[in-house]
Amino acid sequence: MELTLHKEQDKVLDSSARFIGVVSGVRGGKTTIGAIWLLNEINQHRLAGKYGDYLICAPTNKILDQSTLPKFKEFFPKDWGIWKEQKSCFELTWFRPGSTEPCRIYVRSMDEPDSIEGMEALAAWADEVGKMKSSAWINMQGRLAITKGRCLLTTTPYVINWFYEDIVKKAKEGDKDYCLITWSSSANPAFPKDEFERAKATLPKAIFERRYLGKWTKLEGLVYAEFDEDIHVIEPFAVPDTWLRFGGLDFGYNNPNALISIAQDPNTNTFYITSEFYQNETLLKTLSEAIKSKRLQYVLADTHDSQLINELNKFHGCGNVKEADKSVTVGIERIRTLLVEERLKFFRGKTTKTIEEIQEYHYRPSTEMGGDSEKPVGKKNHAMDALRYAFSRPLQGLYAQRPANIQRQRYSRRIPQTTEYTGY
């Protein structure tokens, strides 16, 4: 097959790194090079007499079906094997030495990262990894461990999450196992120049830089601009039984139910977000079991669903779910205060969705209709609503003394800074 690649795509095929991160703007050709890279890797192994299985994965079945898999099928040589729909894999025409089982290319959605457990792969291509859970990357490395296989990770920038920490930073720090290759949408000669300029002129700067330049740019108008992953995300530890434990709950059905569990250190008055429950289409019984398992003394929930609060307490034996104060500014101001004073910490690996949301939770840009509002954009905010509800009511003066060595900073923001709250 004769292919004409642009120069940035050529760099991907030329890289000898074990883990290659590819970050590009939309329609920049990252999915195309992902498919070609894996096929090239398979061919090189075959020519060297190295036989085994391979892995293709994407964050959801929707992305697999709409983008990743169709692109791979487009380039897959017809004489190499056949696609098995029921097994969700390609069966290749060659076999492992001494085996009657054909070599396979497994195709998996990583919405359930454990779906790849038990596999052993010679190489893997992970598409749109910026939307995957950190546990997906841990499991992928496990599938490649014995073979010391290579992995190509393609994505558009989303939030500064595990991909940025584990791939981008390591590549920038010079780790020889890691390589980062980035390019903009316009690097693809087929991308219309006038469309690129239209997006540049009409989109908010941060959105344009993420979507079309492939840059890790923070969104403008972040609600919690004080959040710093290096400061506020820590390794988990065993929480003492004597600490206050409470939570926040945002109900959902088609949208996720979000339950945030919090523990308070009475000595430093620091609050630790220890875990999250974040699931769609959840029965109240399942939700009640999650609440009970966390041993929370109380949970503050969305008052809009007072009937659900009543059912959790009366029919599912919770008894500790109470109505939150739905004032948006009150909860936000308290959380911002705790971030500024470094008294709000998130357990790494236990609060993935919460950390993702806090880095995208933003006000509508003033350039948009209805923008410059004190109310955040109501999208991807389920964990943020749960967090806000949890801090919506004061702790009745408990442990209200702030650490003496921390001075509260003032930030020029849309939310008034004049109110002092007790209990935090």
Structure-token pair, residue 121: 């792969």
The CATH number of the domain holding residue 163 is 3.40.50.300
- 127 closest CA partner among 98, 101, 142, 107: 107
* pLDDT of 373 higher than 70: no
Residue 359 has pLDDT above 80, yes or no: yes
Which of 210, 243, 271 delimits the end of a domain? 210
Does 187 share its domain with 283? no
pLDDT at 336: 87
Same domain, 60 and 145: yes
Question: If you average pLDDT over every residue of the chain, what do you get?
Answer: 85
Closest CA to 163 of 279, 54, 19, 289: 19
Do 58 and 159 lie in a common domain? yes
Residue 41 lies in a domain: yes
Two tokens, residue 131: 């939307």
396 occurs within a structural domain: no
192, 268: one domain: no
Of 180, 210, 240, the residue at which a domain comes to its end is 210
**Whole-number pLDDT of residue 69:** 96
Which has more pLDDT, 357 or 84? 84
Same domain, 240 and 180: no
Residue 132 lies in a domain: yes
Q: Which pLDDT tens digit goes with each residue over 203-214? A: 767 778 888 998
pLDDT of residue 414: 37
Check whether residue 54 and residue 12 sit in a common domain: yes
Q: Is 288 a domain residue?
A: yes
Q: What is the pLDDT of residues 179-196, one digit of tens each?
A: 999 999 999 998 999 999
Shared domain check, 103 and 206:
yes
Instruction: Write the pLDDT tens digit of every residue in 229-279.
Output: 888 999 999 999 999 999 999 988 778 889 999 999 999 999 999 999 998
Question: What CATH number has the domain bearing residue 370?
Answer: 3.30.420.280
Q: State whether 190 and 236 are in the same domain.
A: no
Q: Is residue 220 part of a domain?
A: no
Same domain, 56 and 24: yes
Least confident of 22-36, 296-310, 358-372: 358-372
Confidence of residue 311 (pLDDT cuts 50, 70, 90): confident
pLDDT (average), residues 77-93: 95
As for how many domains the chain has, the answer is 2
Residue 262 falls within a domain, yes or no? yes
pLDDT value for 368: 44
Q: Give the pLDDT confidence score for residue 424 in this predicted structure.
A: 56
Q: Which of 150, 182, 210 is the last residue of a domain?
A: 210
Residue pair 104/89 in contact (Cβ under 8 Å)? The answer is yes
Q: Give a yes or no: residue 146 inside a domain.
A: yes
Average pLDDT over residues 331-349: 90
Residues 206 and 278 in one domain: no
409 pLDDT more than 50: no
224 inside domain: no
User: Domain span at residue 295?
Assistant: 229-390
- Name the pLDDT band for 396 (thresholds 50, 70, 90): very low
Answer yes or no: do 386 and 346 share one domain: yes
3-state secondary structure the chain: CCCCCCHHHHHHHHCCCCEEEEEECCCCCHHHHHHHHHHHHHHHHHHCCCCCEEEEEECCHHHHHHHHHHHHHHHCCHHHEEEECCCCEEEEEEECCCCCCEEEEEEEECCCHHHHCCCCEEEEEEECHHHCCHHHHHHHHHHHCCCCCEEEEEECCCCCCHHHHHHHHHHHCCCCCEEEEEECHHHCCCCCHHHHHHHHHHCCHHHHHHHHHCCCCCCCCECCCCCCHHHHEECCCCCCCCCEEEEEEECCCCCCEEEEEEEEECCCCEEEEEEEEEECCCCHHHHHHHHHHCCCCEEEECHHHHHHHHHHHHCCCCCCEEECCCCHHHHHHHHHHHHHCCCEEEECCCCHHHHHHHCCCEECCCCCCCCCCCCECCCCCHHHHHHHHHCCCCCCCCCCCCCCCCCCCCCCCCCCCCCCCCCC
Same domain, residue pair 202 and 275: no
Residues 5-20 have pLDDT tens digits of: 899 999 999 999 999 9
- Reported as a single tens digit per residue, the pLDDT across 108-159 is 999 888 889 889 999 999 999 988 888 899 999 999 999 999 999 999 887 6
Q: Does 410 score more than 60 pLDDT?
A: no
